[in-house]
Amino acid sequence: MPKSAVTIVSIWGGTGSGKTTLAKSLAAQYPDLISRVPMDRYILPRSGTLASVWKKPLRFDWSLFRSQLDKSKLGDEVHVPLFDYDDFTRPELKSKKSFIIKPLLLLDALAPCPFADEHLFLDVEAEMRKKRVKKRDAEHGLQIMQRWEWLEFSLFFWQQVSNFN
């Protein structure tokens, strides 16, 4: 796909900062122009115990995402990979989730996309984010708060190594 055909905006920040809410809202408001790409499906799989996984920062499979973009053109449907958050593996099954290549792709992730055209860091206080995550966990039966310290460690890592914030 020609680089100029699509603009990639990386919306990144801590868990509960509003990345997904912002990306979904903009995509809904401008459906012909914008697609949201759920980057949490592109987390790099890890092997070993969860305790060992949580000692390293969360990383994304940017090369897989890039290769999908390189094989696509405007209007194409791209299937995002499945990801098992309980054991940090990527099942071989084909995902039913997808996005359409549109002129503007919004990526929401804990880390900045290294090849995005623009970066938007959502800087929200940890206590506010923690309240949001607890509420989301309760409403949707999730257990993200169990991973809070690891997610904060990952955010700190990406803030230190990134030139985008």
Structural domain containing residue 98: 6-161
Please report whether residue 154 resides in a domain: yes
Q: Which uninterrupted H or E stretch holds 105?
A: strand 104-109
pLDDT per position as a tens digit, 88-141: 888 887 788 899 999 999 999 999 999 999 999 999 999 999 999 888 888 877
Q: Residue 133: give its domain's CATH number.
A: 3.40.50.300
Q: Return d(Cα 146, Cα 137) in angstroms, integer.
A: 10
pTM score > 0.85 for this model? yes
Q: In the prediction, which pLDDT does 25 show?
A: 97
Quick one: pLDDT at residue 146? Answer: 76
What pLDDT, on the 0 to 100 scale, is given for residue 4?
Answer: 64
Residue 1 included in any domain? no
* Total structural domains within the chain: 1
The span from the CA of 104 to the CA of 1, in Å, is 13
